[in-house]
Amino acid sequence: MNRLVKLFSVLGIIIIGACSKDEQTSGPDYNITYDLHIAGGTIVDGSGEASFAGDILVSGDKIAYVGAVNASKIQANQTIDATGKVVSPGFIDAHSHGDPLQANNDLLRNFLRQGITTVVLGQDGTNPGYFPSDGPERDLGSFSKWIERVNQQGTGPNVATLVGHGTIRRLSGGGEKDRVTSEEQVKMEQLLIDAMKAGAYGLNTGLEYVPGRYADAEEMAGLAMVVGANDGLISSHVRNEDDDIVHQSIAELLEQGKYARVNASHIKVVYGKTRAQGDAVLKQLRDARAEGIQVTADVYPYLASFGDMSYLYPEWAKREGEFNDAAINRREEFEEFLRAKIIRRNGPGAILISNGEYSGKTLAEIVAITGKTPEAQIIDLDIMARQPPISL
């Protein structure tokens, strides 16, 4: 089997489209000139098998041969000496954010520089192509228009996309309602079908965020049936990852797993203190698999999580209108809630702000400059981040 070749050298690792010694039926052809010869590397082929020493020969955009060669007889236009290096397939980032159509995103080539050759977009309940607040330039209004334009323009890495549940909930008119109407449900399901026909791989939910958090079991089951009927995947930022609730959230995902393949995004136990808590979540997944549910999980390769400020907020300050009301009329109570939450999340030194004026500084560093309390600072930063900023 030959696959597309994308070649990068990243931190001593040479990344190539795909390579496996099992794919070889015969030796290299010493009578032709290959375009590329990657010589003397340690090949990790991504199959889970042990690494092996070997060379890789490429013709055009195809891997022509993987394995042992008589190097003195090989003819190639270009040779890369991979001695002392690992040669591996490109990495797939199962949880990526970004939009190749956004002007300053350089076609998402930043991923290539990390050795990532495939990104999965449409995460945490939102898919690119629907940004009404950014105006008509970026709000294409439908998945098929977005993907058509991406195909015309091209991207750095390969792009796979899921449909954001929050996106179709908004497009259907369900918005931030506590419960969608049956007409809105039908519309959501149709938007999902249309997007999957246009090339989406399934649905992504952000059930901890607005508006995903307002979806109930019935709404999710209807969508899960559509995904299953179209042979897709549901990947989910589950409803709540806190140590005392995460099991319920996984159970909710497994319920959808009765209809379609499911994946728990960036699985973790927030506030978890023991290894046993993590083991219990993994056991829950293994038990479900043993019962026939097709469930998988992915995980961050670092000890942090990233989200918007609303993570920290009480239920009554999550929606935009609720935040505005809380920031103005319930300020003291809001700050008190936040104070406790910040402490529980290991204090202001453990919260790093990633955009705006204080990008790259921790909350502790910011309040040392402004003289505000951490809780007041969080609210004020969020007020400034809203478009337009709300006025008090």
241 lies in the binding site for Zn ion (CB under 5 A): no
Contact range with Zn ion by CB under 5 A, out of 100-108, 192-200, 232-240, 370-378: 232-240
CB of 52 to Zn ion, least distance (A): 37
What minimum distance in Å lies between the beta carbon of 272 and Zn ion? 17
Q: Which stretch binds Zn ion (CB under 5 A): 44-52, 83-91, 118-126, 251-259?
A: 118-126
Q: How far is the CB of 265 from Zn ion (least distance, A)?
A: 5
- Mark 376-391 as b/e (b = at least 16 C-beta within 10 Å): bbbbbbbbeeeeeeee
As a whole number of angstroms, the distance between CA 91 and CA 114 comes to: 9
164 vs 348 by CB, closer to Zn ion: 164
> What is the spatial distance between Cα 22 and Cα 45, in angstroms, rounded to a whole number?
10
Judged by beta carbon, residue 45 or residue 124, the one nearer Zn ion is: 124
Unique residue bearing structure tokens 């469930």 = 295
Contact assessment for residue 127 and residue 171, using Cβ atoms and an 8 Å cutoff: no
Torsions phi, psi for 114 (to 5 deg) = -100, 5
State whether the Cα torsion 366-370-372-375 is positive or negative: negative
Instruction: Report the residue number, 213 or 237, with the smaller CB distance to Zn ion.
Output: 237
In angstroms, rounded to a whole number, what is the distance separating the alpha carbons of residues 58 and 20?
Answer: 13
Pick from 237, 261, 268, 318: which binds Zn ion (CB under 5 A)?
Answer: 237
- Residue 200, helix vs strand vs coil: coil
Pick the piece of the chain touching Zn ion (CB under 5 A) from 59-67, 121-129, 161-169, 368-376: 121-129
For residue 345 the two structure tokens come to 């999340």
Interface with Zn ion: number of residues (CB under 5 A): 2
Q: Which stretch binds Zn ion (CB under 5 A): 177-185, 235-243, 280-288, 355-363?
A: 235-243
For Zn ion, the closer of residues 5 and 121 by Cβ is 121
The piece of 171-179, 182-190, 231-239, 348-356 that touches Zn ion (CB under 5 A) is 231-239
Q: How far is the CB of 311 from Zn ion (least distance, A)?
A: 10
Among candidates 236, 385, 225, which has minimal Cα distance to 320?
385
Residue 213 beta carbon to Zn ion: minimum distance, rounded to whole angstroms: 13
Phi-psi region of 127 (alpha: psi -120 to 50; beta: other; left: phi over 0): beta
Question: Among residues 30 and 306, whose Cβ is nearest to Zn ion?
Answer: 306
Q: How far is the CB of 281 from Zn ion (least distance, A)?
A: 16
Pair of tokens at residue 309: 């400020």
**Cβ at position 124, least distance to Zn ion in Å:** 4
Under the criterion CB under 5 A, does residue 184 sit at the interface with Zn ion?
no
**Three-state secondary-structure class, residue 118:** strand
* Cβ atoms of 285 and 293 closer than 8 Å: no
Please report, as residue ranges, which positions from 53 to 82 form the binding site for Zn ion (by CB under 5 A). none
Q: Which stretch binds Zn ion (CB under 5 A): 18-26, 168-176, 234-242, 281-289?
A: 234-242
Q: Is 124 in the site for Zn ion (CB under 5 A)?
A: yes
Q: Which is nearer to Zn ion, 237 or 239 (CB)?
A: 237
State in angstroms the smallest separation of the CB of 296 from Zn ion.
Answer: 16
Nearer of residues 172 and 235 to Zn ion, judged by Cβ: 235
Strands of the sheet with 91-93, listed across from one edge: 91-93, 116-121, 158-161
Peptide bond into 211 cis (omega under 30): yes
What's the CA gap between 200 and 144, in Å, rounded?
9
Minimal distance in Å, beta carbon 216 to Zn ion? 20
Smaller CB separation from Zn ion, 207 or 254 = 207
Cβ atoms of 337 and 363 within 8 Å: the answer is no
Q: What does each C-alpha distance from 253 to 39, 111, 168, 191, 288 come to in angstroms?
A: 46, 29, 19, 21, 11
Residues that bind Zn ion (CB under 5 A): 124, 237
